[in-house]
Structure 1
Amino acid sequence: MLFKAIHLQGIQSGKITLAFRRWEKASVKSGSLLHTAVGLVEICKVKTVSENEITDKDALEAGFRDKQQLLESFTHNTTATIFKITVRYHSADPRIKLSAQTDLSAQHFADLKTKLARLDNHSRQGHWTRKILLAIKDNPNLHALGIAKLTGFEKEWLKLNIRKLKNLGLTISHRVGYELSPLGNSFVEKLSTEK
């Protein structure tokens, strides 16, 4: 579930407490946490509604001027169900604190190696994690297409899987491109000293 930057700012400030989506089926669940540009957003409640049940007050709480503007924001799929989603700002993104670590204990290093091996072993692409980490290390701020050309991986697949590395605190995403986090640099450095 994606949010526009202006809506994320409203959620973070507490001004926006609702979101509306027109989907074939719900793609979020009550109680789940979404990683966003402003931190974690909690999905508090999800219910289906009809257009007639949406009020101007609901639209304001979702960050729109009025009900009409909200309805115009929906995709053109008029047969899909409308979901009314109660949201709230939960906390800062824990990956930021994780990625800022530079002191990598032997246990943490071993845990990261195990997690990366699991990603490699469950991928149809084979062993990709080390290749991608090294490509990002050697080409900081290079965009996904550039990394795809360097590594031979498909761009959309690459973006999805770099996100998995980010979830482990190893990479940082910028508006354009990626770089290794302090933790990622420590991990790659320690990896390179292994025999």
Structure 2
Amino acid sequence: MMIRPAELAAIKAGTIDLAFRRWAKPRVVVGTRMRTAVGVVEVTSLEQVSVSALRAEDARRAGAPSLAALKQGLAARSEDPAWRIGLAYAGPDPREALRATVPDADELAAINARLDRLDAASSHGAWTRATLDLIDRNPTVRAPDLAAQVGRETQDFKKDVRKLKELGLTESLAIGYLLSPRGEAVVDAGLPAPRVRAPREQGTPLPRNIGAPATRALREAGVTTLEQVASYSAEQLAAMHGVGPIAIVRLGEALAEQGSGLADDG
């Protein structure tokens, strides 16, 4: 179930608790927990509804500007039933805490056993340690470039990286990946001595939904965290080649979640 960034922020803030979709059959059930850019969102209710029976309160709770706008959004695919989905913020993504947790000896053994099972189940041979090492040596490098280095198709490579992410070993960035502290500990445990790495950036990473061109433009300007973005105005961001209106809106939304905002123009 796709939810727009602004709606996710409003769900987290508690100002939106409904969504409406046209589906031939439900794609979620009550209790479904979705990991999103703002944390975990849970489906609290699900019912088929008649569009003609919707009211202004439904539009307000769904974040629509008006009842007419809500109905217009449901005009497409009118042959499919309309569904009212109750939504609630259910807390941060548990993988965030897991990534920051450095494993002890017993946990390391359990993680390595899990990596061994992933390797054994693979149709293309052992890949887990090589992929961790590749990401460790090439942080923030695009997935297609990483995949090319090991002669793999990008989508298959990304599927494998997601398996490592589920274990809390990697972090997905707007461009490329980074080993988490947990992942670094797993790699270091297999080396004669801990690897020397560049200091980890302090602050909130740039939102992934701003797009690669905007991310590259910000990095070229030395801006690598959301906190640094707050010192720029919308006009200054727009002057950066690659930072478009949608990216600026999403940066503003991400800052608003932190109780901050872009600098004033002028």
- Return the TM-score normalized by structure 2: 0.66
3-state secondary structure, aligned to 2:183: helix
Unaligned stretches of 5+ in structure 2? 193-266
Question: Which residues in structure 2 correspond to 1:42-191 (within 5 Å)?
Answer: 42-73=42-73, 76-102=76-102, 104-191=103-190
> Take 2:133 and 2:74, find their aligned partners in 1: how far apart are those partners?
41
Structure 1 residues 55 and 185, CA gap change in structure 2 (3 angstroms): same
Deviation, structure 1 residue 36: 0.9
Deviation, structure 1 residue 55: 2.5
Deviation, structure 1 residue 96: 1.1
Structure 1 residues 73 and 111, CA gap change in structure 2 (3 angstroms): farther
> Take 2:73 and 2:160, find their aligned partners in 1: how far apart are those partners?
30
Deviation, structure 1 residue 75: 9.1
Is the contact between residue 74 and residue 82 of structure 2 (CA under 8 Å) also seen in structure 1?
A: no
Deviation, structure 1 residue 38: 1.0
3-state secondary structure, aligned to 1:135: helix
Deviation, structure 1 residue 22: 2.1
The amino acid across from 1:48 in the alignment is Q
Deviation, structure 1 residue 160: 3.2
Is the contact between residue 131 and residue 151 of structure 1 (CA under 8 Å) also seen in structure 2?
A: no
Structure 1 residues 38 and 189, CA gap change in structure 2 (3 angstroms): same
Of 180-189 and 71-80, deviating more is 71-80
3-state secondary structure, aligned to 1:176: coil
Structure 1 residues 65 and 143, CA gap change in structure 2 (3 angstroms): same
3-state secondary structure, aligned to 1:91: coil
Structure 1 residues 156 and 73, CA gap change in structure 2 (3 angstroms): farther
Unaligned stretches of 5+ in structure 1? none
> Take 2:13 and 2:183, find their aligned partners in 1: how far apart are those partners?
31
> Take 1:124 and 1:78, find their aligned partners in 2: how far apart are those partners?
43
> For 1:54-82, what per-residue CA distance to the aligned partner results, in whole angstroms no more than 9, with x for missing partners?
33321221111123333444595443332
> For 1:129-151, what per-residue CA distance to the aligned partner results, in whole angstroms no more than 9, with x for missing partners?
22221221111011222222222
Is the contact between residue 133 and residue 188 of structure 1 (CA under 8 Å) also seen in structure 2?
A: yes
Flag the structure with more relative contact order, 1 or 2, with Cα contacts below 8 A and sequence separation at least 6: 1
> For 1:68-117, what per-residue CA distance to the aligned partner results, in whole angstroms no more than 9, with x for missing partners?
33344459544333221101011111111110123x21211111122223
RMSD: 2.2
Structure 1 residues 159 and 62, CA gap change in structure 2 (3 angstroms): farther
* Equivalenced residues, count: 193
Larger radius of gyration: 2
The amino acid across from 1:25 in the alignment is K
- Return the TM-score normalized by structure 1: 0.87
3-state secondary structure, aligned to 2:16: coil
